[in-house]
Amino acid sequence: MSMGGLDPAISLAENYRVWGREAAGRSPAYVTLSSAVADDLTILEFLGTLPPDKRQPNLLFASAYYLLGAPADPGTLRDLIRRAPDRLAQVMRTRRTQTNEPARCATLLPALAQLPEPLALIEVGASAGLTLLFDRYSYDYPGLRITGRDPEAPVLRCDLRGPVPVPGRLPEITWRAGLDLNPLDVTDDDDMRWLSCLVWPGEGDRAQRLAAAVAAARRSPPPVRRGDLLTDLPALVAEAPADATLVIYHSAVLAYVAPQDRERFAAIVRGLAAVWFSNEAPGVVPGVPLRDRDDGTFVLARDGRQALARTDGHGDWVEWLPAEPARQSGAAG
């Protein structure tokens, strides 16, 4: 199961238990909460009144946080469901899990920086567009500091494992655009409050980093277009400047897309004249190897073929993978 969706092969209670195991080490409060939900028939019954794609832990917990003004615990969640089930259901029906983690830029930057400049970026599933702002942030890799264009923007700390090709400077980005089913507006207080409610309690400095990234984005908002990755990508590609290397990328998006639609998306991107970087859970991107671990780690891959790195799902570290051995051309069959 990905953290985004529910596994239809197991019960809702079991989904919450599995989710709790995946949250272990990240958020003790939500480990407790997910196991309380799994054992609570009233909460499970409440969830059963919602459409199947609206029952997942991230959405329930963020919606409760949004209404309570603080992360829920088992007691406050039960109380909320007793007092205001309709309000909670309404938030869950209208909001989506759109976590936007700027620190993922630190794991994608080494791949981007290897391309001929200048770059034109299209991020698919961009949420509020915070992962479009590579050149605004500063980076703190072990032994290497890279200064971004906005001195007030957050400094993204990222550990390196293996021979990561960290760049000495930021690449030149001359054009950027996001595409999302439901773009969040960085200038809208309510949208940004929702984004902050998607951060789990106990996750170190994530909340402060998000607030600093939103403040930076507000100084010059990233353009994120409303649209579906299955239908609206070619039109956006047509707007990109011809004199830049076009990069189409996405992170933590395809897990929310049905498997047959992931295949359709892969076929669309392969037909476009662009470099394609995916940063998704193992097994999610058709054609990308490395299915052996499903522990919250992502696989950063190029062009739906070559796995470049394992990356922490929240951008804490990147582990570069050895290059695949080159195939010998003309080898005897």
Ligand X SMILES: C[S@@+](CC[C@H](N)C(=O)[O-])C[C@H]1O[C@@H](n2cnc3c(N)ncnc32)[C@H](O)[C@@H]1O
Closest C-alpha among 152, 106, 161 to residue 131: 106
- State yes or no: residue 253 binds ligand X (CB under 6 A): yes
Identify the helix (H) or strand (E) that includes residue 320: strand 317-320
- State yes or no: residue 182 binds ligand X (CB under 6 A): yes
- Out of 35, 138, 251, 278, the residue judged to bind ligand X by CB under 6 A: 251
The answer to whether 307 and 321 are in contact (CB under 8 A) is yes
CA distances from 272 to 181, 267, 303 (A): 20, 9, 11
- State yes or no: residue 100 binds ligand X (CB under 6 A): yes
- Out of 15, 27, 63, 131, the residue judged to bind ligand X by CB under 6 A: 131
- State yes or no: residue 194 binds ligand X (CB under 6 A): no
- State yes or no: residue 268 binds ligand X (CB under 6 A): no
Closest approach of ligand X to the CB of residue 60, in Å: 16
Q: How far apart are CA 265 and CA 261, in angstroms?
A: 6
For ligand X, give the closer residue by CB, 13 or 59: 59
Total residues interacting with ligand X, rule: CB under 6 A: 24
Among the candidate windows 24-32, 47-55, 227-235, 317-325, which touches ligand X by CB under 6 A?
A: 227-235
Contacts 24+ apart (CB under 8 A), 188-194: 191/128, 192/128, 193/66, 194/62, 194/66, 194/95, 194/98
* Amino acid identity at 47: L
- Out of 40, 101, 150, 280, the residue judged to bind ligand X by CB under 6 A: 101
- State yes or no: residue 154 binds ligand X (CB under 6 A): no
Q: Is 312 helix (H, G, I), strand (E, B) or coil?
A: strand
Q: Which residues in this chain contact ligand X in the complex, by CB under 6 A?
A: 96-101, 104, 125-127, 131, 179-182, 228-230, 250-253, 256-257
